[in-house]
């Protein structure tokens, strides 16, 4: 059983690396942003409530995010462990996650912190393309990680698009939220001795390799 949290600024590669780590450990990658985008795309009541918040780069309310997360965690495939990407993002969400996990007899075991300067984050997000199939949502980069066929997902063949929140204005807003709310969480987890810090400014393969070494005994 592994409960692993992937944390870092926007564009640090949380989604990219959580996907690789989850495949290697044979546990699901739970992508909070992806789960919320799927609600918006489905046009659910909840999706309508959160659409404008996400478009502005703000955090959706903790009770809403927690409700979506809890539902996903109850799936059979999550019982052997998960890699969380994008949750928790602040102290309130940490308390909420602890509560959800304790109800399931689980706790946070490891935190991988992908450290990246904001300037690099902006460059990466400007070139990101994502799969339009919400069940897939594979990430690409036009220069650093291009698809085999331009604008087509390697995994499922669906079209690739630029995310609506990958504009310079919204990226800066998301980074500001990260520094104000998520950074203190990394301090908290460091004090608990849970954090492995990885230099995320390296290539995708090198970051994956460093994570592999840091997690060799998990
Ligand atoms: P979310 O979708 O989680 O976005 P994010 O946190 O802003 O993170 P990103 O997806 O932008 O970055 P990433 O670190 O995953 O990088 P990636 O691997 O894609 O959240 C979106 C919104 O949902 C939030 O703004 C909020 O509104 C809401 N939300 C989500 N969680 C919430 C929560 N807990 N509570 C409340 N609201 C919540 O990589 C980026 C690019 O760089 C890609 O193009 C990739 O190919 C490339 N790349 C990756 N690694 C490398 C590398 N090593 N070298 C070169 N290129 C690389």
Q: Using N-to-C axis directions, what is the helix angle for 14-25 and 204-214, rounded to 10°?
A: 50
What's the token pair of residue 170? Answer: 């919204």
> Of all protein residues, whose CA lies closest to atom 43 belonging to ligand 1?
128
Separate counts of helices (H) and strands (E) for the chain: 9, 8
21 lines ligand 1 (CB under 6 A): no
Q: Which two tokens stand for residue 121?
A: 């984050």
Ligand 1 pocket residue status of 106, Cβ below 6 Å: no
Catalytic choice (152, 163, 173, 196): 163
Q: What is the pLDDT of residue 204?
A: 95
Structure tokens given for 61: 């309310």
Is 12 a residue whose pLDDT tops 90?
yes
pLDDT reported for residue 104: 86
- Determine contact, residues 202/211, Cβ cutoff 8 Å: no
Q: Which residue has its alpha carbon closest to ligand 1 atom 17?
A: 13
Binding site membership of 64 for ligand 1 (Cβ less than 6 Å): no
Count of other CB atoms within 10 angstroms of residue 33: 20
Catalytic residue among 106, 124, 129, 174: 174
Tens-place pLDDT, residues 24-79: 999 999 999 999 999 999 999 999 999 999 999 999 999 999 999 999 999 999 99
Which of 19, 87, 128 maximizes ligand 1 atoms within 8 Å of its Cβ, making it the mutation to test the pocket? Answer: 128
Q: End-to-end alpha-carbon separation of the chain, Å? A: 9
What residue's CA is closest to ligand 1, atom 26? 59
How far, in Å, from the CA of 76 to the mean position of ligand 1? Answer: 26
128 is catalytic: yes
Residue 155: both structure tokens together: 């995994």
Instruction: Look at residue 218 and tell me whether its pLDDT is greater than 90.
Output: no
| pLDDT of the residue at 90 | 97
pLDDT, tens digit, for every residue of 92-124?
999 999 999 999 889 999 999 999 999 999 999
Q: How confident is the model at residue 149 (pLDDT cuts 50, 70, 90)?
A: very high
Does residue 14 have an active-site annotation?
yes
Q: Is residue 12 in contact with ligand 1, taking CB distance under 6 Å?
A: yes
pLDDT given for residue 81 in this prediction: 94
Does 71 participate in catalysis according to the annotation? Answer: no
Q: Report d(CA 55, CA 21) in Å as an integer.
A: 28
**pLDDT-derived band at 1, boundaries 50, 70, 90:** low
């Amino acid at each position: 059983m592994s409960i692993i949290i992937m944390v870092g600024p926007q564009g640090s590669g949380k989604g990219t690396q959580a996907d690789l780590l989850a495949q290697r450990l044979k546990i699901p990658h739970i992508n909070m942003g992806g789960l919320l985008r799927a609600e918006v795309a489905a046009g659910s009541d909840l999706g309508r409530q959160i659409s404008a918040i996400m478009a502005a780069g703000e955090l959706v309310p903790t009770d809403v995010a927690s409700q979506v997360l809890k539902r996903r965690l109850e799936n059979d495939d999550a019982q052997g462990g998960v890699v969380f990407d994008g949750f928790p993002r602040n102290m309130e969400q940490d308390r909420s996650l602890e509560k959800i996990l304790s109800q399931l007899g689980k706790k946070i075991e490891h935190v991988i912190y992908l450290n990246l300067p904001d300037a690099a984050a902006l460059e990466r997000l400007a070139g990101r393309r994502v799969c339009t199939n919400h069940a897939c949502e594979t990430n690409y980069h036009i220069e650093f990680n291009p698809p085999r066929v331009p604008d087509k997902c390697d995994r499922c063949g669906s079209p690739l698009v630029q995310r609506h929140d990958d504009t310079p204005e919204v990226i800066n807003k998301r980074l500001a939220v990260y520094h104000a709310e998520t950074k203190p969480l990394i301090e908290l987890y460091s004090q608990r001795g849970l954090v492995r810090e990885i230099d995320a400014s390296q290539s995708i393969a090198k970051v994956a390799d460093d994570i592999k070494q840091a997690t060799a005994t998990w």
